[in-house]
Amino acid sequence: MNSIDATIAEKGLMSSEMGSERTLYPYVTGTSVIGIKYKDGILMAADMGGSYGSTLRYKSVERLKPIGKHSLIGASGEISDFQEILRYLDELILYDNMWDDGNSLGPKEVHNYLTRVMYNRRNKFNPLWNSLVLGGVKNGQKYLGTVSMIGVHFEDNHIATGFGNHLARPILRKEWHENLSFEDGVKLLEKCMRVLLYRDRSAVNKLQIAKITEEGVTISQPYSLKTFWGFSAFQNPTKGAEGSW
Amino acid sequence: MVVVKRFVLQVHRKSDMSKAVVDLPPKGGFSFDLCRRNEMLISKGVHPPSFRKTGTTIVGLVFKDGVILGADTRATEGPIVCDKNCEKIHYIAPNIYCCGAGTAADTEAVTDMVSSQLQLHRYHTGRESRVITALTLLKSHLFSYQGYVSAALVLGGVDITGPHLHTIYPHGSTDTLPFATMGSGSLAAMAVFESKFREGLTREEGIELVCEAICSGIFNDLGSGSNVDVCVITKGHKEYLRNHQMPNPRTYVSSKGYTFPKGLTEVLTTKITPLKEKVEVIEGNDAMEE
CATH number at residue A75: 3.60.20.10
Q: Which among B113, B75, B11 is positioned nearest to B226, based on CA atoms?
A: B75
Q: Residue A235: list chain B partners with CB under 8 A.
A: none
Comparing B50-64, B95-109, B191-205, B275-289, the range with the smallest average pLDDT is B275-289
Chain B residues with a Cβ under 8 Å from any Cβ in chain A: 62, 131-132, 135, 161-162, 164, 166, 174-178, 187-188, 190-192, 194-195, 199, 216, 219-220
**pLDDT number for residue A7:** 53
* Least confident span in A3-7, A41-45, B240-244: A3-7
pLDDT band at B110 (very low <50, low <70, confident <90, very high): very high
Q: Which residue of A has its CA nearest to B197?
A: A231
Output the CA angle B245-B251-B256, nearest 5 degrees: 125
Contact B176 A191 (CB under 8 A): no
pLDDT at B14 over 70: no
| Over residues B119-123, mean pLDDT | 97
pLDDT for residue B290: 55
**Contacts of residue A174 in chain B, CB cutoff 8 Å?**
216
Which residue of A lies nearest to B139 if distances are taken between CA atoms?
A: A244
Q: Considering the domain boundaries, does residue B13 fall inside one?
A: no
Which residues on A lie below 8 Å from B164 (Cβ)? 240-241
Enclosing domain of residue B189: 53-245
Q: Which of B67, B194, B215 to mutate to test the interface with A (most CBs of A within 10 A)?
A: B194
Domain-embedded: residue B127: yes
Give the mean pLDDT of B250-260.
78
Chain center to CA of B198: 30
Specify if A86 maps to a domain: yes
Within a domain: residue B272?
no
Q: Residue B115 to residues A58, B127, B229: CA-CA distances in angstroms?
A: 51, 15, 20
In a domain, A132, yes or no: yes
How many Å apart are CA A118 and CA A134, to the nearest integer?
Answer: 13
Q: Where does the pLDDT of residue B288 fall: very low under 50, low under 70, confident under 90, or very high at 90 and above?
A: low
* Interchain pair A195, B191: CB under 8 A: yes
B109 assigned to some structural domain = yes
Catalytic residues of B: 56
Assess if residue A21 is contained within a domain: no
Q: Please tell me if residue A193 touches chain B, with a CB cutoff of 8 Å.
A: no
Q: What pLDDT, in 10s, does the model give residues A190-234?
A: 999 999 999 999 999 999 999 999 999 999 999 999 999 988 888
Question: pLDDT exceeding 90 applies to what percent of chain A?
Answer: 82
Q: How do residues A11-56 score in pLDDT, each as one tens digit?
A: 545 555 556 678 888 999 999 999 999 999 999 999 999 999 999 9
In a domain, B277, yes or no: no
Residue A147 lies in a domain: yes
* pLDDT above 80 (res B126): yes
Q: Is residue B112 part of a domain?
A: yes
- Selecting among A23, A115, A161, A238, the annotated active-site residue is A23
Asked whether this complex has an ipTM greater than 0.90, the answer is no
**Is A184 part of any domain?**
yes
Percent of chain B residues past pLDDT 90, beyond the cut: 60
Range of the domain at A48: 36-223
> Which is higher by pLDDT, A81 or B261?
A81
User: Which of A192, A194, A241 lies closest to B164 in CB terms?
Assistant: A241
Q: What is the pLDDT of residue B258?
A: 77
Say whether B194 and A168 touch across the interface (CB within 8 A): no
Q: What is the CATH number of the domain that holds B205?
A: 3.60.20.10
Query: Which chain A residues contact residue B138 at CB under 8 A?
Result: none
- From the list A221, A135, A139, A169, the residue with the least C-alpha distance to A32 is A169
Q: Which residue of B has its CA nearest to A174?
A: B216
- Closest by Cα among B164, B168, B160, B165 to B114: B168
Q: Is residue B146 part of a domain?
A: yes
Three-state secondary structure call for residue A200: coil
A146 is catalytic: no
Q: What percent of chain A has a predicted confidence (pLDDT) above 70?
A: 90
Residue B158 resides in a domain: yes
Domain annotation covers residue A136: yes
Q: Using an 8 Å CB-CB cutoff, list chain A residues near B187.
A: 166-167, 199
Residue A239 belongs to some domain of the structure: no
- A1 vs B4, which has greater pLDDT? A1
Q: Per the domain annotation, does A10 fall within a domain? A: no
pLDDT of B27 strictly over 80: no
**CB distance A241–B177 less than 8 Å?**
no
Question: Do the Cβ atoms of A244 and B220 come within 8 Å?
Answer: no
Task: Tell me the whole-structure pTM to 2 decimals.
Answer: 0.78
Report which of residues B52 and B206 the model is more confident about.
B206
Domain count, chain B: 1
Helix (H, G, I), strand (E, B) or coil at A235: coil
Cα separation of the two ends of chain B: 73
pLDDT at A152 > cutoff 80: yes
Which pLDDT value is given to residue B276? 80
Count of structural domains, chain A: 1
Residues of chain B neighbouring A167 (CB-CB closer than 8 A)? 187-188, 190-191
